[in-house]
Amino acid sequence: MQLLHFAILSPFLFALFIPILAKYAKRVHTGWFVLILPVLLFIYFLPMIRMTQSGETLRSVLEWIPSLGINFTVYIDGLGLLFALLITGIGSLVTLYSIFYLSKETEQLGPFYVYLLMFMGAMLGVVLVDNVMVLYMFWELTSLSSFLLIGYWYKREKSRYGAAKSLLITVSGGLCMLGGFILLYIITDSFSIREMIHQVQLIAGHDLFIPAMILILLGAFTKSAQFPFYIWLPDAMEAPTPVSAYLHSATMVKAGIYIIARFSPIFAFSAQWFWIVSLVGLITMVWSSFQAVKQTDLKSILAFSTVSQLGMIISMLGASAAALHYGHTEYYTVAAMAAIFHLINHATFKGSLFMAVGIIDHETGTRDIRKLGGLMAIMPITFTISLIGTFSMAGLPPFNGFLSKEMFFTSMLRVAHFDLFNVQTWGILFPVLAWVGSVFTFIYSMKLVFKTFKGNYQPEQLKKQAHEAPAGMLVAPVILAALVVSLFFFPNILSYSLIEPAMNSIYPTLLDGHEKFHVHISQWHGPTTELKMTAGIIVIGTLGYLAMNKWKGIYKLFPSKLALNRFYDKLLALMEKGSYRVTKQYMTGFLRDYLLYIFAGFIILMGGVMMIKGGFSFTTEGMADIGGYEMILTLVMISATAATVFARSRLTAIISLGVVGYTLALFFVIFRAPDLALTQLVIETISVALFLLCFYHLPKLRRKTKTRTFRLTNFIIALGVGIIVTLLGIASSSQRTKDSISSFFLKNSHDLGGGDNVVNVILVDFRGFDTMFEITVLAVAALGIYSMIKTKVKEEERSGE
């Protein structure tokens, strides 16, 4: 166990102490203790940039279950480090923010920070491990801790609904991903992602390639809230705002992006990967940016906006597949570069926006955009932060979102010129969709900032007197907003330190030898198509924003019945009702129905197997002669049995049953089994007496009430069972392959057992164990009857009878 393993597990270990701190150090806000850890981790990971920058990676194995090939292997390369820095960096800021957001008097801080640290550790595990099984473990831990965080205010019904929904969707996706990992293991015989990348040729040619790809993509799409699985994310906004800022904008939802980027070297060779990933990303982007304009809750706008931006990043990752076909030229790798760059940018501006919205909520008591307005003069710093964040989100200069949006357009425009994957006909769709999505992004960004801060101040609508947030709350969003601006002016501090190493991880096989990716981000490209597209967005977007009341009506054109949320709720209700109905259908509570299933199953399984395997056979070889009296006695038995079945009164049935038993004893006599005959006679007499004992308490036989179909079914089933058992008996006696072992008992009964009664010697000597347990059975039965009678009496006494 090295420091690296310890670093990943440290949040979990630290979480163990949080409840103690929360309980005994009440005077200090627990968050201050928690803050130490992500800052330390950030400082620990930061110097590793130098290592990844020079193209080196770090691998360290801690054996966990080596016999199954499951090891806690930490692997740090550009991509993993980038995510680790995001997680710890934004984690520190979010913790700082939460110290001022959550009150130590009214909130339960212990659970909150335990869940948050659990999440942080799980997320670090996801991005830094090399073994897919361990990755899956951390993946599920993120789902679980996210569930706990969303349901933090568990007394609210909406929180519980949102938490359950997110858990259901992300865990189903996670299970699909596990399936994908196992398929990859079947193909490559290794759990290590490194190993899989080395065997990419083998994977590409395998039959399981497509299923594995689709299953892993399902996991990534559900986690990253892609179409049509994005529905959990808007409902997850019931979580406290620091959680939304951390999980649902900067880290957890990017786990899917991480998976797509990480598995690109394995899958991106195929046309299916390109089409699925880029189209799902684009559709998500357009659809949810369109939906975001409609929302009136600030956090809902941000939730849909997150979904949209994630779609944008994923579509760029899909487009980056081209470089694997054309080789390493800047023309084709720009998509990957843009994806990574926008990933960082989105984390910064979305984090700051969530925090700003949290401040507005905290200081005014509402997040409803219709009640807010005119806050510009009251909350100038929050306004500035929001302005920077939204303008960056809309892709305006001088903010970092502008740069990545330009690069996004560049990559989409280049997709249109691909001549592989049959892109030609549909190629033009990519830039058009991207542009439409961006227009909507612009509109909701403007709506977000101007509807909140401009317009009329409505104090009567607000629960609290609005005022600027305390300084501590503003620190974290100010840092992020500063990053947003400075990344525009100095984007290249990222390009050598983070983007190039991360591209190395996406294209590990592309470079040979000492070649390096050359990433240079410049603010000014000249009057390119991309710039014209941005200008078009600003013009059309401004017009669209100003004339929003005019075209708002088109949202009514989409019936709410077709909404995916409705579909999800209906599906859940349907599943619940359906399974209830199915269970109700066969679980009738009547023993006779269950017996019917058992006997029908017996007939079908036994008869079917015997039929298929040709097990039925019949020979008369080795059979004894039948005497006349045996035939008559058989007739006696048959008629007595028939009398039992058809008896109209219970007494007749009991007597007939007695006849059957006695005749059976007689058969034992004829077939020379005196001990059996003795026992059978006594037992038959006792059981007939017992039947008579119960007789008085039993109801009358009711035959009239049973319908004809019921009786017919019973008849068929009884006939079937009888025939099958008879055939089985005949078949087993006509196919004896081995001699019986009875000759041993006959020969050795006297010498070894010391007795001449072979039956008794077998019972108490050769196979005494059986007898012992039969005695036990009898004892248990006797005790059971005794206690049943006794408890019944007691109950009667208690009820006063």
By beta-carbon proximity to another protein, the closer residue of 515 and 796 is 796
Residue in 190, 639, 687, 734 binding another protein, rule: CB under 8 A: 639
Q: Which amino acid is at 681?
A: L
Residue in 183, 521, 640, 724 binding another protein, rule: CB under 8 A: 640
Characterise 555 by phi-psi region: left (phi > 0), alpha (psi -120 to 50), beta (else): alpha
By beta-carbon proximity to another protein, the closer residue of 89 and 658 is 658
Neighbours of 241 (CB within 10 A): 26
Question: What values do phi and psi take at 62, rounded to 5?
Answer: -120, 115
Q: How far is the CB of 672 from another protein (least distance, A)?
A: 6
Could you tell me which residues come within 8 angstroms of residue 217 by beta carbon, excluding any fewer than 6 positions away? 180, 260, 273, 276, 277
By beta-carbon proximity to another protein, the closer residue of 309 and 680 is 680
The three-state secondary structure class of 154 is coil
By beta-carbon proximity to another protein, the closer residue of 558 and 671 is 671
By beta-carbon proximity to another protein, the closer residue of 186 and 782 is 782
Does position 800 bind another protein by CB under 8 A?
Answer: no
The three-state secondary structure class of 74 is strand
By beta-carbon proximity to another protein, the closer residue of 555 and 695 is 695
Task: Kindly indicate which of the ranges 200-208, 211-219, 656-664, 742-750 contains the residues binding another protein, using the contact rule CB under 8 A.
Answer: 656-664
Task: Kindly indicate which of the ranges 30-38, 303-311, 394-402, 621-629 contains the residues binding another protein, using the contact rule CB under 8 A.
Answer: 621-629
Binding to another protein, residues 692-721 (CB under 8 A): 692-693, 695-696
Q: How far is the CB of 659 from another protein (least distance, A)?
A: 6
Query: Alpha-carbon distance 176 to 553, whole Å?
Result: 39
Q: How far is the CB of 758 from another protein (least distance, A)?
A: 11
Q: How far is the CB of 788 from another protein (least distance, A)?
A: 16
Q: How far is the CB of 618 from another protein (least distance, A)?
A: 27
Structure tokens at 38: 């992500």
DSSP, res 630 = H
Q: Which of 390, 417, 393, 418 is nearest to 404 (CA)?
A: 393
DSSP, res 700 = P
Q: How far is the CB of 792 from another protein (least distance, A)?
A: 14
Does position 658 bind another protein by CB under 8 A?
Answer: yes
Residue in 580, 629, 710, 744 binding another protein, rule: CB under 8 A: 629
Residue in 172, 199, 384, 685 binding another protein, rule: CB under 8 A: 685
The CA angle 792-699-683, to the nearest 5 degrees, is 75
By beta-carbon proximity to another protein, the closer residue of 388 and 677 is 677
Q: How far is the CB of 629 from another protein (least distance, A)?
A: 4
Task: Kindly indicate which of the ranges 12-20, 403-411, 453-461, 623-631 contains the residues binding another protein, using the contact rule CB under 8 A.
Answer: 623-631
Residue in 47, 66, 527, 628 binding another protein, rule: CB under 8 A: 628
**Torsion sign, CA atoms 501, 507, 509, 512:** negative
Count of residues of this chain found to bind another protein when the rule CB under 8 A is applied: 35
By beta-carbon proximity to another protein, the closer residue of 611 and 632 is 632
Binding to another protein, residues 662-681 (CB under 8 A): 662-663, 665-666, 669-670, 672, 674, 677-678, 681
DSSP, res 294 = H
Does position 211 bind another protein by CB under 8 A?
Answer: no
CA quadruple 498, 499, 501, 502: dihedral, nearest 10: 110
Task: Kindly indicate which of the ranges 469-477, 483-491, 558-566, 633-641 contains the residues binding another protein, using the contact rule CB under 8 A.
Answer: 633-641
Q: How far is the CB of 669 from another protein (least distance, A)?
A: 5
Query: Is there a contact between 385 and 354 (Cβ–Cβ < 8 Å)?
Result: no
Alpha helices in 226-329 (DSSP H): 232-235, 241-245, 255-267, 271-294, 298-319, 323-326
By beta-carbon proximity to another protein, the closer residue of 377 and 693 is 693
Side-chain-side CA neighbours of residue 588 (13 Å): 9
By beta-carbon proximity to another protein, the closer residue of 529 and 757 is 757
Query: Alpha-carbon distance 606 to 121, whole Å?
Result: 55
Query: Alpha-carbon distance 187 to 178, whole Å?
Result: 14
By beta-carbon proximity to another protein, the closer residue of 240 and 658 is 658
| Alpha-carbon distances, residue 227 vs 291, 317, 640 (angstroms) | 12, 16, 72
* Residue/partner pairs of 524-533 with CB below 8 Å, 24 or more apart: 525/406, 528/410, 529/409, 529/413, 530/406, 530/409, 530/410, 530/413, 531/406, 533/409, 533/431, 533/435, 533/438
Q: Which amino acid is at 330?
A: E
Residues comprising the chain, all counted: 801
CA quadruple 189, 195, 199, 202: dihedral, nearest 10: 20
Task: Kindly indicate which of the ranges 202-210, 337-345, 524-532, 689-697 contains the residues binding another protein, using the contact rule CB under 8 A.
Answer: 689-697
The CA angle 468-474-479, to the nearest 5 degrees, is 145
Q: How far is the CB of 778 from another protein (least distance, A)?
A: 20
Residue in 436, 688, 717, 721 binding another protein, rule: CB under 8 A: 688
By beta-carbon proximity to another protein, the closer residue of 535 and 651 is 651
Query: Alpha-carbon distance 402 to 404, whole Å?
Result: 6
Query: Is there a contact between 671 and 633 (Cβ–Cβ < 8 Å)?
Result: no
Does position 624 bind another protein by CB under 8 A?
Answer: no
Residue in 381, 633, 728, 730 binding another protein, rule: CB under 8 A: 633
Does position 410 bind another protein by CB under 8 A?
Answer: no
Residue in 539, 582, 682, 725 binding another protein, rule: CB under 8 A: 682
Binding to another protein, residues 63-102 (CB under 8 A): none
Q: How far is the CB of 658 from another protein (least distance, A)?
A: 6
Does position 656 bind another protein by CB under 8 A?
Answer: yes
By beta-carbon proximity to another protein, the closer residue of 436 and 669 is 669
Task: Kindly indicate which of the ranges 1-9, 12-20, 137-145, 691-699 contains the residues binding another protein, using the contact rule CB under 8 A.
Answer: 691-699
By beta-carbon proximity to another protein, the closer residue of 539 and 689 is 689
Does position 643 bind another protein by CB under 8 A?
Answer: yes
DSSP, res 129 = B
Q: How far is the CB of 798 from another protein (least distance, A)?
A: 19
Query: Alpha-carbon distance 123 to 83, whole Å?
Result: 9
Q: How far is the CB of 780 from another protein (least distance, A)?
A: 23
Residue in 211, 601, 627, 729 binding another protein, rule: CB under 8 A: 627
Neighbours of 279 (CB within 10 A): 18
What distance, in Å, lies between the first and last C-alpha atoms of the chain?
72
With 0-12 / 13-18 / 19 or more C-beta atoms within 10 angstroms meaning exposed / middle / buried, residue 193 is buried
Query: Alpha-carbon distance 638 to 632, whole Å?
Result: 10
By beta-carbon proximity to another protein, the closer residue of 280 and 659 is 659
Residues interacting with another protein, by CB under 8 A? 627-629, 632-633, 635-636, 639-640, 643, 651-652, 655-656, 658-659, 662-663, 665-666, 669-670, 672, 674, 677-678, 681-682, 685, 688-689, 692-693, 695-696
